[in-house]
């Protein structure tokens, strides 16, 4: 997968040249990401990059979030998948503006893709823009897409050892959400304490919360955290108020 998209970590068969190409690619991406973030700041938008492995529940969480948002918080969504318009359609059905990016073979979003998506997404009146990244616990961590915050979902169906196995994405998260908690009784061997310890080892006091899109448990705490982050960003002069 990563051989195709060029975002793989240097491994067997890597030449010095491929490392240089990769570094240039990331530097170019970082420049575009800073430009995208300036768009968000000018429009008063807090951008949240939502990441997880495939199927951990990103879109379901967004659906539950839209239903639970306080009425004065206006949101929009950019959806990233290899193929299909499905996730954007799920969001639009909830009455929220959504733009789908289809990446073809690339296993992550990059800043240029997000910049292109903004053509179809007027930001005026939007407070929070959710960018649902391509389901992948590795590559999205390397690509700044202009977001202010990184949120990583770990669903209980994936096992409590995933933070130890995929440390980079968890280490850099502003919030780790342990998702699908309604399934805990059926999974049986997901050790919440172990998962929390693993995340804490990677990022100290960083916030961890539990959520179920199915039952709504934890969703109010999540939307409360979002409102808090928006207020903080605006106080810092980012995501200026309208």
Site string for Zn ion, 72-111 (x = CB under 5 A): -----------------------------------x----
Closest CA to 80 of 145, 167, 155, 176: 145
Q: Which does 96 bind (CB under 5 to 8 A by kind): ligand GTP, Mg ion, Zn ion, none?
A: none
H or E segment to which residue 83 belongs: none
Q: Which does 212 bind (CB under 5 to 8 A by kind): Mg ion, ligand GTP, Zn ion, none?
A: ligand GTP
Q: Does residue 58 interact with ligand GTP by CB under 6 A?
A: yes
Least separation, in Å, of the C-beta of 81 and ligand GTP? Answer: 6
- Taking phi over 0 as left and psi of -120 to 50 as alpha, with beta for the rest, 239 belongs to left
Residues facing residue 44 across a β-bridge: none
CB atoms within 10 A of CB 192: 14
Q: Does residue 52 interact with ligand GTP by CB under 6 A?
A: yes
Supply the DSSP string of 33-52, one letter for each residue. HHHHHHHHHHHT-EEEEEE-
Tokens 């793989």 sit at which residue?
A: 8
Q: Which does 214 bind (CB under 5 to 8 A by kind): Zn ion, ligand GTP, Mg ion, none?
A: ligand GTP
- Which residues, including other chains, have CB under 8 Å from residue 85's CB and lie 6 or more apart? 100, 102
Least separation, in Å, of the C-beta of 61 and Mg ion? Answer: 9
Which of residues 7, 109, 141, 177 is near Zn ion by CB under 5 A?
Answer: 7
Per CB under 5 A, contacts with Mg ion among 42-71 are 58-59
- Ordered strands of the 175-179 beta sheet: 98-102, 75-81, 128-132, 46-51, 149-155, 175-179, 207-210
Q: Does residue 59 interact with ligand GTP by CB under 6 A?
A: yes
Q: Does residue 108 interact with ligand GTP by CB under 6 A?
A: no
Q: Which does 100 bind (CB under 5 to 8 A by kind): ligand GTP, Zn ion, Mg ion, none?
A: none
Distance CA 132, CA 48 (A): 8
Q: Does residue 55 interact with ligand GTP by CB under 6 A?
A: yes
Q: Between 54 and 125, whose beta carbon lies closer to ligand GTP? A: 54
Q: Does residue 218 interact with ligand GTP by CB under 6 A?
A: no
Chain residues binding Zn ion by CB under 5 A are: 2, 5, 7, 107, 139
């Amino acid at each position: 997968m990563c051989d195709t998209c060029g975002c793989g970590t240097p491994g067997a068969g890597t030449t010095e040249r491929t490392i240089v190409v990769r570094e240039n690619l990331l530097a170019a991406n970082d420049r575009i990401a800073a430009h995208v973030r300036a768009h968000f700041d000018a429009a008063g938008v807090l951008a949240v990059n939502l990441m997880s492995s495939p199927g951990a529940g990103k879109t379901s969480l967004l659906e539950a979030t839209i239903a639970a948002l306080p009425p004065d918080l206006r949101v929009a969504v950019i959806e990233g998948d290899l193929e299909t318009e499905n996730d954007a359609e799920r969001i639009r059905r909830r009455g929220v503006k959504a733009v789908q990016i289809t990446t073809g073979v690339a296993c992550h979003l990059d800043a240029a893709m997000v910049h292109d998506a903004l053509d179809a997404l007027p930001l005026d009146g939007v407070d929070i823009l959710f960018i649902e990244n391509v389901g992948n616990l590795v590559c999205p961590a390397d690509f700044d897409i202009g977001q202010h915050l990184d949120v990583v979902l770990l669903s209980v169906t994936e096992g409590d050892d995933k933070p130890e196995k995929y440390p980079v994405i968890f280490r850099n998260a502003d919030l780790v959400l342990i998702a699908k908690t309604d399934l805990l009784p059926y999974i049986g061997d997901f050790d919440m304490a172990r998962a929390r310890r693993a995340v804490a080892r990677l990022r100290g006091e960083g916030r961890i919360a539990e959520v179920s899109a199915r039952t709504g448990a934890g969703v109010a705490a999540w939307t409360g955290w979002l409102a808090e982050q928006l207020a903080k960003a605006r106080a810092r002069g980012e995501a200026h108020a309208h």
